[in-house]
Structures are given as structure tokens and as C-alpha cells.
């Protein structure tokens, strides 16, 4: 299905990604994906329901990583969560906390790796 490289996520079939991902297709052509939104979900407003949804999404992500062997997928999701929070000028809520709480138990280094990856892209942030 996929192969893992150090800094690259390879996706053979978009329909294999978890339900919290969304795709933009070139001119509506489903064979040409131009963009993947790795966190295409919004909170519903109920803290308890959002937390449970976040945990369910984390289970999907864990299953996806086990099926593909690509641990970098978790980092892509975490980076997108951070991007969305910043774009929407809001703090992490129960949806994100539910996801991260479950992921941290299975991939304890993923949050650190996502932070390092994002800082590599923004060297000015280190100055």
C-alpha cells in the first residue's frame, strides 16, 4: 500500500485515509489530488462529545499508521491541528485534546517530532 521514507508521506489511495481528512481535487477530477486537509473537522460545541470524537479520530489515525507503517502521518495531523487553531485564532478544545490524549499514549514522541518539523520549516522562529 505505502512505503515510508524519513520525511515524506506517501499516499497511494486517498480513500484509505481516515474520515477526518478531506481532499481538494484538480478541476473536480478525483484522480488528481491537489491538497489534503489532515484535520478537516470542527468542534460541535459539546465538550464531552468533542472529546469522544477526538479520541475516535485518534483511533482511526492509529489504525491507519499500523496499516501503512507511516508514523509521519501522525505528525502531519498534529501540524494541521496547529495550523487550524492558529488560522481560527482559537485554543485547543476538547476535540483536539481527545485526539492528542489518545495519540500521546501510542506515539509519545509524535508531538515533539511535529514541533521539530515545524521549526525546521520556520528557521526565523529559532532566532
CA dihedral sign, ordered 120, 32, 2, 14: positive
Is residue 5 pLDDT above 70, yes or no? no
> Is residue 96 domain-resident?
yes
> Is residue 5 domain-resident?
no
Dihedral (C-alpha) 67, 73, 74, 79: value to the nearest 10 degrees?
Answer: -170
Overall domain count for the chain: 1
Helices 72-87/47-68 angle, 10° precision: 150
> Is residue 56 domain-resident?
yes
Confidence band, pLDDT 50/70/90 cuts, at residue 114:
confident
What is the DSSP code (8-state) at residue 107?
A: -
* Host domain of residue 49: 14-126
> Is residue 113 domain-resident?
yes
> Is residue 3 domain-resident?
no
Global pTM reads: 0.80
Higher per-residue pLDDT: 101 or 23: 101
* Helix (H), strand (E) counts: the chain: 4, 2
Q: What is the pLDDT of residues 6-56, one digit of tens each?
A: 566 777 666 788 999 988 878 777 777 778 899 999 999 899 999 999 999
Amino acid at each position: 500500500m505505502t512505503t515510508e521514507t524519513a520525511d515524506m508521506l506517501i499516499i497511494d489511495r486517498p480513500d484509505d485515509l481516515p474520515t477526518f481528512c478531506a481532499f481538494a481535487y484538480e478541476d473536480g477530477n478525483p484522480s488528481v489530488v491537489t491538497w489534503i486537509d489532515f484535520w478537516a473537522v470542527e468542534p460541535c460545541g459539546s465538550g464531552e462529545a468533542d472529546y469522544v470524537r477526538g479520541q475516535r479520530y485518534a483511533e482511526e489515525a492509529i489504525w491507519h499508521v499500523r496499516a501503512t507503517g507511516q508514523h509521519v502521518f501522525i505528525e502531519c495531523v498534529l501540524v494541521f491541528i496547529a495550523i487550524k487553531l492558529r488560522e481560527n485564532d482559537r485554543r485547543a478544545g476538547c476535540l483536539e485534546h481527545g485526539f492528542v490524549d489518545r495519540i500521546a499514549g501510542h506515539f509519545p514522541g509524535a508531538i515533539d517530532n511535529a514541533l521539530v518539523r515545524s521549526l525546521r520549516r520556520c528557521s526565523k522562529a529559532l532566532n
